Structure 1
Amino acid sequence: MMNLPSFRLEGKKAIITGAGRGIGRALAIGFAQSGAEVILCSRTESELEQVKSEIEALGGSALVYPVDVTDTAELKKTVKHIFNDFQVVDILINNAGMNIRSKANDVTEDEWIRIMDTNVKSAFMMSQAVGIRMQEQQNGGSILSVSSVAGHIALKTGVVYAASKAAMIQMTKVLAYEWGSKGVRVNSIGPWYFETPLTKHLLEDENYLNEILAVTPLKRVGQVEELIGPALFLSSEAGSYVTGQTLFVDGGMTINGF
């Protein structure tokens, strides 16, 4: 009888950035419930401690490593600390991100730098720091970045945000190509609108919400828990032959011809 591929993560160590709220929090809880020991990273230690408490209350295991991922020196120091503590890391989730919804005419250099540093630079520097160590591991590893449908099609989400997410999708392909022979898989997921602290005020605008639903075949926004399954698939043995791909978790939005 054929052994079915496993979505379980027992014995795996998973770093998750931006783990204190929203999508990162949901993925941290979901991965812990699937058996992983999760390593929670973000700037706000109090939020990470709250997520750690939630995970432990559910019988899972989590550790907190506060870090500003836009500070490359601090990021590298933290990654070194993590590997000193664990020796092996199996999974990296690049989730830290931000947006400033400026129209192209109004974008400032500071906005460009802040968004690109948070969304792209941090994801690459974290992938590089962790990926180099994964290439040395016997079983390689899996890197997953949280991109967006905005990196694939033109949306009114802000030009810099869209550019950053498009860069993340292409970075995923190149890293997968370079590191595949070393057993490191690199993928991304591209969410559409999900209910998070960052989107709450937007979704409370009925006209804005109706615009979203009009181009979403499933006619609803997503719940962050619905990202756990796709992320687990790409991070676990169930997705062992998948690399360089972006899975759009979008209620069908990207297949819509508008």
Structure 2
Amino acid sequence: MLSNSNSSALFDLTGRTALVTGAARGLGYCYAQGLAQAGASIVLNDVRDGLLAESVAKLTAGGHCARGAAFDVTDEDAVAAAFAALDADGVEVDIVINNAGIQFRKPMVDLALADWQRVIDTNLTSAFVVAREAARRMIARGRGGKIINIGSLTSEGARATVAPYTAAKGGIKMLTRAMSAEWARFNIQSNAIGPGYILTDMNTALIDDEKFDAWVKSSNPSGRWGRPEELIGVAVFLSSAASDYINGQIVYVDGGWLAVL
């Protein structure tokens, strides 16, 4: 049986460096803050330079080790250049949280291919590209690592008007399994988090819709929306030694939504 001190050490991220994409605000910043509080050094990514600088400043003001990396996750060359810059600075990424994502709501019959592609590139393809660059370095170092992709309830089921998002998040589920199939032998654990309906800026339109808000609360066993901070525990868990034999899984944080009909 583990002592209390050893049990705590399982979740200690001291000495680890985590890259969190889309981290200037919202859930990305929440993940970054949670991992920083667990001891990790953080590389926050976003394309919004000003907001990114503010978020880095907030973490460092709180006594955490943090730096920004402003690049577009949908630009393969920019991703490669960002990792090369981290290499040059001696920054070794042990943990990746592929959080960057966008939503676009429109019926499929009215959906332009460019809008479909933009959502797929941001929510799915970027996770592959960022994880690939990280995994190449993790494999070369021989110390393993953690890849955490961000899925959704739409990794399991569909809703009208969000077809590209649904396709991307379903893809995240299988991409995570593919990563596990190839990288587990290098001691890289690839898993995903599937948030339910969370009180975030991305969901503002839904939160403000009285009918939708009532539906969320009435159809979820927990009777409420989730809070961003309620995702921190699973993010720290999947980033830590506590999850070293968990691979290719998606952990849903949804208040019990998928457990009921």
Q: 1:156 aligns with which of 153, 160, 185?
A: 160
**Superposition TM-score, scaled by structure 2 size:** 0.95
Q: Which whole-Å CA distance do the structure 2 matches of 1:186 and 1:86 have between them?
A: 24
Answering whether residue 170 of structure 2 is matched by residue 166 of structure 1, we say yes
Task: Answer whether contact 1:83 1:89 (CA < 8 A) is retained.
Answer: no
Identity %: 35
The answer to whether the 8 A contact 1:92-1:130 is kept is yes
The equivalent residue for 2:248 is: 244
Q: Structure 2: 5+ residue runs without aligned partners?
A: none
Query: Residues of 2 paired with 1:163 and 1:93: CA distance?
Result: 20
Cα distance between partner residues in 2 of 1:15 and 1:84: 16
Quickly say closer, same or farther: Cα 1:229–1:157, change in 2 above 3 A: farther
Provide the C-alpha distance between the structure 1 equivalents of 2:158 and 2:117, rounded to a whole number of angstroms.
21
Gaps of 5+ in 1: none
Counterpart-to-counterpart distance in 1, 2:141 and 2:96: 14
* Counterpart contact for 1:20–1:47, Cα < 8 Å: yes
Q: Does residue 1:30 correspond to 2:70, yes or no?
A: no
Q: TM-score, normalised by structure 1?
A: 0.96
Over aligned residue pairs, what C-alpha RMSD do you find?
1.2
**What is residue 129 of structure 2 aligned with on the other side?**
125
What secondary structure, in the 3-state scheme, does the structure 1 residue paired with 2:202 have?
A: coil
Distance of 1:142 and 1:242 partners within structure 2: 10
Q: How many equivalent pairs are there?
A: 257
1:81 aligns to 2:85 (yes or no): yes
SS in 1 for 2:171: helix
Which residue of the partner structure matches residue 64 of structure 1? Answer: 68
2:213 equivalent to 1:200: no
Name segments (4+ residues, structure 1) moved above 6 Å. Answer: none
Match of 1:210 among 210, 214, 221: 214
Partner of 2:226: 222
Residue 12 (structure 2) pairs with residue 17 (structure 1): no
Residue number in structure 2 paired with 1:182: 186
- Supply the distance in 2 between the matched residues of 1:106 and 1:17 (Cα, whole angstroms): 30
Aligned to 1:51: 55
Q: CA deviation at 1:13?
A: 0.4
Indicate whether 1:101 and 2:105 are aligned: yes
Does structure 2 conserve the Cα–Cα contact (< 8 Å) formed by 1:142 and 1:235?
yes
